[in-house]
């Protein structure tokens, strides 16, 4: 009986506190990275806006090696190629060049570059972004979207070893995940 209770407590505690296998359970003392908390404070809900939809994305950031002005190879700006998923894991759309978002229900919106806000909580991941919707670009279920945020990013950075003169003109894909938040006017 004690073993079953201990196992159940471990399962519950794995949601955030951690646990060892002995009957003396101790909370995990690892603190979350400060940089992530800083990024979250940089990306609060936009003023005078309310959250309409939130989707997770899985896909790639696509880069091309190009010759820089100084003759050294450099990366082109990233182009996204990702699928969007709802909170139940159902695929609900795509995210691609533009940047644009297209939902399976017909909703679409195009983001206006450059981003209005940018944060780099993790240098090994693409930045968090806040992008204004391009006026007149939204339709369907996304027709009232005014701001799109990309947060909770992981990956999406190309390997430095591929940045060589022999790779100029070649395309490279860097897998990434992120959450996309779509905001509409508060009123």
Residue-level pLDDT at 43: 79
**Residues 86 and 113 placed together within one structural domain of the fold:** yes
**Residues 168 and 116 placed together within one structural domain of the fold:** yes
Q: Residue 59's beta-bridge partner residues?
A: 82, 176
- Check if the beta carbon of residue 140 is closer than 8 Å to that of residue 106: yes
Q: What is the largest CA-CA distance in the chain?
A: 71
Indicate the number of domains in the chain: 2
Residue-level pLDDT at 50: 95
Residue-level pLDDT at 39: 56
Please, is 3 exposed, middle or buried when counting C-beta atoms within 10 Å of its C-beta (0-12, 13-18, 19+)?
exposed
Task: Tell me the pairing of strands 49-67 and 171-185.
Answer: antiparallel
For a pLDDT cut of 90, what percent of the chain falls above it? 73
**Residues 71 and 141 placed together within one structural domain of the fold:** yes
* Alpha helices per DSSP H over the chain: 2-13, 34-42
Residue-level pLDDT at 41: 63
**Residues 125 and 158 placed together within one structural domain of the fold:** yes
Residue-level pLDDT at 37: 46
Tens-digit pLDDT profile for residues 22-70: 333 333 333 333 344 455 566 788 999 999 999 999 999 999 999 998 8
**Residues 171 and 134 placed together within one structural domain of the fold:** yes
**Residues 69 and 21 placed together within one structural domain of the fold:** no
Q: Higher-confidence residue: 110 or 30?
A: 110
Lowest mean pLDDT among 2-6, 137-141, 163-167: 2-6
State the Cα–Cα distance between residues 174 and 80, nearest whole angstrom: 10
Q: Higher-confidence residue: 117 or 10?
A: 117
**Residues 25 and 87 placed together within one structural domain of the fold:** no
In the structure encoding, which two tokens stand for residue 106, read together?
């017909």
Q: Give the model's confidence band at 6: pLDDT under 50 very low, under 70 low, under 90 confident, else very high.
A: very low
Lowest mean pLDDT among 12-16, 66-70, 173-177: 12-16
Q: Which residues of 94-118 are buried (b: 16+ CB within 10 A; e: fewer)?
A: bbeebbebbbeeebbbbbeeebeee
**Residues 17 and 56 placed together within one structural domain of the fold:** no
State the Cα–Cα distance between residues 147 and 184, nearest whole angstrom: 7
Residue-level pLDDT at 29: 32
CA-nearest of 89, 84, 86 to 59 is 84
> With 50 as the cut, is the pLDDT of residue 99 above it?
yes
**Residues 10 and 101 placed together within one structural domain of the fold:** no
> With 50 as the cut, is the pLDDT of residue 129 above it?
yes
In the structure encoding, which two tokens stand for residue 166, read together?
């022999």
**Residues 90 and 165 placed together within one structural domain of the fold:** yes
CA-nearest of 61, 145, 80 to 108 is 145
Tens-digit pLDDT profile for residues 161-170: 999 999 999 9
Mean pLDDT of 116-132: 95
**Residues 140 and 168 placed together within one structural domain of the fold:** yes
Domain that includes residue 12, residue range: 1-30
**Residues 90 and 11 placed together within one structural domain of the fold:** no
Average pLDDT over all residues of the chain:
83
């Amino acid at each position: 009986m004690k073993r079953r209770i201990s196992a159940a407590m471990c399962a519950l505690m794995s949601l955030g506190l951690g646990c060892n296998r002995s009957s003396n359970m101790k909370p995990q003392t690892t603190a979350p990275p400060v940089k992530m908390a800083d990024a979250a404070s940089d990306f609060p809900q936009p003023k005078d806006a309310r959250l309409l939809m939130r989707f997770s994305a899985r896909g790639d950031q696509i880069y091309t090696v190009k010759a820089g002005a100084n003759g050294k190879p450099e990366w082109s700006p990233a182009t996204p190629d990702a699928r969007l998923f709802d909170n139940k894991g159902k695929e609900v759309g795509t995210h691609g060049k533009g940047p644009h978002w297209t939902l399976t229900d017909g909703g679409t919106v195009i983001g206006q570059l450059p981003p209005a806000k940018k944060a780099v909580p993790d240098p090994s991941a693409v930045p968090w972004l806040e992008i204004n919707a391009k006026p007149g670009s939204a339709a369907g279920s996304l027709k009232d979207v005014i701001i799109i945020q990309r947060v909770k990013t992981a990956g999406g950075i190309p390997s430095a070893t591929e940045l060589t003169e022999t790779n100029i003109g070649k395309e490279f894909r860097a897998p990434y995940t992120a959450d996309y938040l779509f905001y509409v006017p508060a009123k």
